[in-house]
């Protein structure tokens, strides 16, 4: 990324990623893809388990109309209902899905469908059909959306690689006059952008970013850097990755203990 301004006021994370070497962006895309697929799998599993739970309840449970006679919490109640043999029961009722339920919960005297099993009439589940449907749709939707975003990440990486490959073939090598670094907010962390100043054949100055560095790489010898200049659009110029300092500090190697 290149700017004609002498001092960029702000460098965004996306702007710096767009200036990163292809291998670094490839690693970032792979990590993001892994996280998105993992999150999608968890969400789809949650939605599937809700569907399975509803199916099992519909298959094995009996239905009745219960009346709330005591409120213990937003999800816990005491209810009275009449079963299919016309026997009245007072049971502990639990509302597993609170979707669509008001903050104050159900009120005494409120009548609603309950699910019970033969031999366990003292415990019932309060049916919340609309809430179950809404929650299942939400979980399945949350699981599908990341899978839609993954191809977009892969396309971004492909275009990034194509841009670097084109500049390595047709870009004009430009010497760097000066270099400095700027901090860039990176979530809870901090990264650094290398800002290289160079001139086009007409003598106009431009600035191209490099990074993201996990540390401040200064001092950097400007003469060791090389810009692959895009003569048609200098803003798309890049710093040759082969001339950049390491993006991460070299980890010290542990010395082998003498035997």
Q: Where are the domains of the chain?
A: 2-21+161-243
More confident of the two residues 183 and 120: 183
Let me know: does 108 contact 78? Beta carbons within 8 Å: no
| CA 171 – CA 47 distance, rounded (Å) | 51
Residues paired with residue 88 on neighbouring β-strands, in sequence order: 82
Phi, psi of 162 (to 5 degrees): -65, -40
At which residue do the structure tokens 């767009």 appear?
A: 18
Distance, CA of 35 to chain centre: 7
pLDDT tens-digit series, residues 112-147: 888 888 888 888 887 766 566 666 777 777 788 888
pLDDT tens-digit series, residues 1-18: 554 444 545 888 888 888
Evaluate if pTM is beyond 0.85: no
More confident of the two residues 128 and 249: 249
């Amino acid at each position: 990324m290149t700017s004609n301004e002498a001092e960029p006021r702000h460098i965004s994370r996306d702007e710096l990623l767009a200036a990163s070497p292809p291998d670094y962006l490839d690693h970032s895309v792979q990590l993001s893809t892994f996280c998105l697929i993992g999150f999608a799998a968890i969400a789809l599993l949650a939605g599937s388990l809700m569907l399975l739970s509803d199916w099992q309840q519909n298959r094995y449970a009996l239905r009745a109309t219960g009346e709330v006679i005591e409120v213990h919490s937003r999800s816990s109640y005491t209810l009275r209902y009449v079963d299919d043999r016309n026997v009245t029961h007072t049971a502990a009722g639990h509302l597993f899905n609170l979707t669509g339920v008001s903050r104050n919960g159900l009120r005494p005297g409120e009548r609603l469908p309950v699910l019970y099993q033969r031999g366990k009439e003292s415990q019932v589940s309060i049916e919340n059909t609309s809430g179950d449907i809404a929650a299942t749709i939400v979980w399945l939707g949350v699981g599908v959306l990341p899978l839609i975003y993954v191809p977009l990440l892969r396309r971004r990486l492909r275009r990034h690689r194509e841009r670097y490959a084109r500049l390595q073939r047709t870009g004009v090598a430009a010497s760097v006059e000066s270099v400095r670094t700027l901090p860039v907010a990176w979530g809870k962390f901090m990264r650094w952008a290398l800002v290289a100043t160079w001139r086009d054949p007409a003598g106009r100055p431009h600035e191209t970013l490099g990074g993201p560095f996990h540390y401040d790489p200064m001092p950097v010898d400007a003469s060791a850097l090389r810009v692959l200049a895009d003569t048609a659009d200098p803003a798309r110029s890049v710093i040759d990755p082969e001339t950049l300092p390491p993006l991460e500090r070299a980890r010290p190697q542990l010395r082998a203990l003498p035997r």
